[in-house]
A and B are shown apart, each in its own frame.
Chain A
Amino acid sequence: DTAVSQTPKYLVTQMGNDKSIKCEQNLGHDTMYWYKQDSKKFLKIMFSYNNKELIINETVPNRFSPKSPDKAHLNLHINSLELGDSAVYFCASSYLGQGNYGYTFGSGTRLTVV
């Protein structure tokens, strides 16, 4: 039973395309996150949703649009993909307000834009 699952694991696409990454958690957490890990392994928060409400929206291009249909799912849609979007995208979940809990991460989606 995978706690935080992301699909697809790998995604190769051409510049200008639109793509989506899906994330689901079965831990009962109320908050989900998207992180971007660049080629130098640096992890940066992109978005966070708590019970389907957007609570964190870092400086991310408008081409990135998260959607949370329910608290167990957080999807990431990317329009007009650019070369610089190539990275590994990690989904994570936790309980908001329980900062000592830590996050549970998915296995990542490696996006390659060619």
Chain B
Amino acid sequence: AQSVSQHNHHVILSEAASLELGCNYSYGGTVNLFWYVQYPGQHLQLLLKYFSGDPLVKGIKGFEAEFIKSKFSFNLRKPSVQWSDTAEYFCAVNANSGNTPLVFGKGTRLSVIA
């Protein structure tokens, strides 16, 4: 079964700082990887995803993530955060076949301060 670890529980950054949120997964086969964002009081929205091809994927709102297969990692990055990026960020994985449900990490809360 798949599992996902997000190393940072709560990250506090000043506006314009660079962001990197860690995500490692555990699964023996080929996977699809996702980052979702949950703004306060809202539902989950897809930021970006990787399933094949270029391991550096770009998503919405200036976010990107890099899949490093040898490290089983899919870290999320943004060069310059804004106050509006304050949210909960979830890494998720499922088997490439799509026949297994999305398994989520425990989330990282990002607080961006002015």
Contact = CB atoms under 8 A, between A and B. Distances in A.
Contacts, number: 64
Interface of B: 32, 34, 36, 38, 42-46, 49, 51-52, 88, 90, 94-104, 106-107, 109
Interface residues of A, number: 27
A100 B93 CA distance: 10
Contact of A100 (B44, B98, B107, B109): B98
A33 B99 CA distance: 13
Chain A interface, >50% SS class: mixed
Interface string A65-92: 0000000000000000000000000101
Contacts of A41: 38, 88, 106-107, 109
B99 A99 contact: yes
A90 B43 contact: yes
A64 interface: no
A76 to B, nearest CB: 16
Contact of B103 (A45, A102, A104): A45
Nearest to A33: B101
Contacts of B104: 35, 42-44
Nearest to B42: A107
B25 to A, nearest CB: 13
Interface string A30-60: 0001010000111111001000000010000
Given A42-B106, A56-B101, A99 B44 contact: no
A95 B102 contact: no
